[in-house]
Amino acid sequence: MLDRRHFLKQAATLGAAGVTAPLLSPVASAAPAQGERTLRVYNIHTGETVTSTFWAEGQYLDDGLQALDFLVRDHRTDMAMAMQKQLYQNMYQLQTLFDSHEPLYVISGYRAPASNSSLREHSAGVAEHSLHMQGRAIDIRIPGVSHRHLHRAALAMESGGVGYYPKSGFIHIDTGRVRHWTA
């Protein structure tokens, strides 16, 4: 397992040389060929926690994915959606990199269109066509891990969009095109 400082140093060095994130990451960005992948996740709005194995013996596990999908549901409407599997792979990669004994904290997972609209009325930072509504985005933090380090690690994965919200204390990751921003 790579430690955080080694990973970030390696990412900065190799990134400057044009090497892409899959070579840097302890877990390939595509679905792993073998092994078991388990996420520990806590929803800050519902107070629910789940430890869910979503990949084992070379395939995704429906029960594990459904448990995660339910946990990251829209807490305002209680609606859930099947999230993109790559999003869970990216979350697993970050959890593994930081070797946290704490669950990943979910600030926002799936968002129903009505919830997204309501949030847009109160915040300029909510996209009209948010990937949260498509099951392709999640906002997270890891207790005990600086948001800056988590942000850098997510950027190094080069696996979609990464938003950095230091004042709010979380990062956004999605499976859209590779891009980044700070709010």
* pLDDT tens digits, 55-92: 999 999 999 999 999 999 999 999 999 999 999 999 99
pTM across the whole model: 0.80
Residue that is written with structure tokens 């994915």 in the block:
65
Q: What is the CATH number assigned to the segment(s) 4-8+32-177?
A: 3.30.1380
Q: What is the C-alpha to C-alpha distance for residues 144 and 182, in angstroms, rounded to an integer?
A: 21
* pLDDT tens digits, 114-165: 887 788 777 767 777 789 999 999 999 999 999 999 999 999 999 999 999 9
Provide the CA 81 distance to its chain's centre, in angstroms. Answer: 16
* DSSP secondary structure letters along 123-160: -TTS-TT-GGGGT-EEEEE-TTS-HHHHHHHHHHHTSS
Domain locations along the chain: 4-8+32-177
